[in-house]
Amino acid sequence: MPRVSRRRFLQYTAMAAAASILGCTGYAEQPVLPHYDFESLPGLGVTARRAGMDYGAAIRYPQLSEEAYASAFAKECSVIVPEHALKWEGLRPAAGVWNFQPADALCEFAQMHHMKMRGHTLVWYFAFPKWAQQALDKDSGARMLEEHITTVVGRYRGRVSSWDVVNEAIHPEDNQADGMRDSLWLRALGPSYVERAFSLAHAADPSAELVYNDYGAEFSGKRADAILGLLRRLKDKGAPIHGVGIQAHLWATHAIDVKKLQMFCKEVKQMGLKLLITELDVKDSDLPDDIALRDRLGAARVRQFLETILAEIKPQQILTWGLTNKYSWLAMHDQNASERPVCSLPLDQTYQRTPVWKAIHDCLIKLQSGLN
Ligand code: G3I
């Protein structure tokens, strides 16, 4: 009986655990491949461009000052998305006060590295400063919406190529007509605030790609249908909408509704809209601590998600919500992240490529070779 090394034994045990966990979520995990040097492969942005699309990531302005991270970001990404700097909360700390410096610096970084820049996000119910919440009502709503969008989109005209114009306007749980979210924007302006926002953004920069961004299209439930309903209404009204962003905050242990995601992609294509994957990452807070296991389960989920979409439509961009586990928002929002590093993104805490990196790379290679 050949001796099984401790490392190999641990791998087999982890695989058995993975198979049992993933089995319950309906997706067989990829076999554990022998380690090979994928550090020498080109950045995801290069591979994506060769497949006729883009890969990029969200970044918070303070992270730019870390040289190692800035160069890892430049190596991997062809698109940059400010994680916070272009939100109301990031831009407008107080009434009448505009803080463009972080977004300007990110824009400069993008131009220096020949990256595209996405703007996230002009209208959202969250990250909406207290002063604005108190000011927004039926009388002020139209002026506040116009002033904000015209100022921000106008400032970055020709430099921000694509905007999340409205983010997360759908929330069926609020029991509003058409599954709309019961937000201050809806109360101030009614559902037409969405198409108003798109028209204002188009007027401020006719060359910008305008996107509606939301989450949950990949899961069972009412969200995907409600998002599609909103897109159809926008198209029927002639709103200048060019694409839809699905955020793709996946879970390693929550099954994707493959049929629903396939239907969603077909409908988006039928409407003539582009599809962007805007905030891809994998939550795994309910998994055991074993990092190798979590890496593999997360990568298996990313691979399943991307393969499902790529079989239906070629996304305009694949964007992860952060590039390195070290700076994932999940660490900020997961109280036990300090003992248990996040395993969610293409680079680990020391900027080494992870199985999630490989899953995205492999899907891009398949796209390049037309094997989808
Ligand atoms: O910049 C301030 C800092 O000055 C202050 O000291 C600190 C403590 O209060 O807060 C800092 O702002 C934080 C900001 O992130 C920048 O780091 C906010 O409190 C915090 O709420 C904010 O969280 C962001 C969240 O959106 C709300 O804007 C997350 O980083 C960001 O990853 C998350 O991203 C959202 C997308 O925009 C939309 N889709 C879901 C996604 C995850 O929630």
For residue range 167-225, what is the model confidence (pLDDT) as tens digits? 999 999 999 999 999 999 999 999 999 999 999 999 999 999 999 999 999 999 999 99
Dihedral over Cα of 137, 139, 142, 144: its sign: negative
Residue ID of nearest Cα to ligand 1 atom 30? 329
From the candidates 29, 168, 209, 218, give the one annotated as an active-site residue: 168
| DSSP letter, residue 159 | T
| DSSP letter, residue 271 | T
Dihedral over Cα of 98, 103, 105, 107: its sign: negative
Residue ID of nearest Cα to ligand 1 atom 36? 83
Amino acid identity for residue 159 in this structure: R
Task: Assess whether the C-beta atom of 27 lies below 6 angstroms from ligand 1.
Answer: no
Burial class (CB within 10 angstroms; exposed 0-12, middle 13-18, buried 19+) of 22: buried
Residues 6 or more apart from 170 whose CB is under 8 A from it?
A: 179, 180, 181, 214, 223, 226, 227, 230
CB atoms within 10 A of CB 303: 20
Does residue 99 carry a pLDDT above 70? yes
Provide the pLDDT confidence category of residue 334 given band limits of 50, 70 and 90.
Answer: low
Question: Could you read off the pLDDT of 228-249 as tens digits, one per residue?
Answer: 999 999 999 999 999 999 999 9
Does residue 7 carry a pLDDT above 50? no
Provide the pLDDT confidence category of residue 1 given band limits of 50, 70 and 90.
Answer: very low
In the residue annotation, 279 being an active-site residue is answered as yes
Q: Give the ligand 1 atom nearest the CA of 167.
A: 38
> How far is it, in rounded angstroms, from Cα 254 to Cα 112?
39
Taking the CA atoms of residue 237, residue 239, residue 243 and residue 246 in that order, the dihedral angle to the nearest 10 degrees is: -70
pTM: 0.91
Provide the pLDDT confidence category of residue 39 given band limits of 50, 70 and 90.
Answer: confident
Task: Assess whether the C-beta atom of 60 lies below 6 angstroms from ligand 1.
Answer: yes
Residue ID of nearest Cα to ligand 1 atom 16? 84
Residues 6 or more apart from 319 whose CB is under 8 A from it?
A: 55, 56, 57, 58, 79, 81, 118, 276, 277, 278, 279, 280
Mean pLDDT of the chain: 91
Q: Tell me the mean pLDDT in the region 1-20.
A: 48
